[in-house]
């Protein structure tokens, strides 16, 4: 939970990016059975997506390869689904600009 809150800070997002957080978080989502972990991972990914264009590109490349974000966007967990859809919407807006 604290990492989720921390991810709303620009410097924390930059440091998470430098440490390879995006692939790690996506891998965690793919392998966890814990709904809370999944929700927290997606909250962090959404914050990273909002603050770091380079990491956003990394997310899109990972999405093409694994479809992790799309699968979560249609999941039964409302919070994870909402965050997944917000990330996908950011992608759609980026493509249409």
Using one digit for the tens of pLDDT, what is the confidence trace for 38-93? Answer: 999 999 999 998 888 888 888 999 999 999 999 988 988 899 899 999 999 988 87
The predicted model scores a pTM of 0.86
Question: What is the pLDDT at residue 97?
Answer: 61
Residue ranges of domains in the chain, CATH in brackets: 2-96 (1.25.10.10)
User: CA of 31: how far to CAs of 26, 50, 51, 68, 75, in Å?
Assistant: 9, 24, 25, 10, 15
């Amino acid at each position: 939970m604290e990492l989720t809150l921390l991810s709303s800070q620009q410097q924390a997002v930059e440091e998470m990016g430098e440490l390879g957080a995006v692939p790690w978080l996506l891998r965690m989502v793919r392998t966890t059975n814990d709904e809370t972990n999944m929700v927290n991972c997606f909250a962090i990914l959404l914050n990273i997506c909002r603050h770091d264009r380079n990491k956003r590109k990394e997310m899109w490349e990972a999405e093409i390869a694994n479809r992790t974000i799309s699968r979560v966007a249609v999941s039964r967990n409302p919070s994870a689904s909402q965050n997944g859809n917000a990330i996908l919407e950011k992608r759609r807006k980026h493509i249409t600009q």
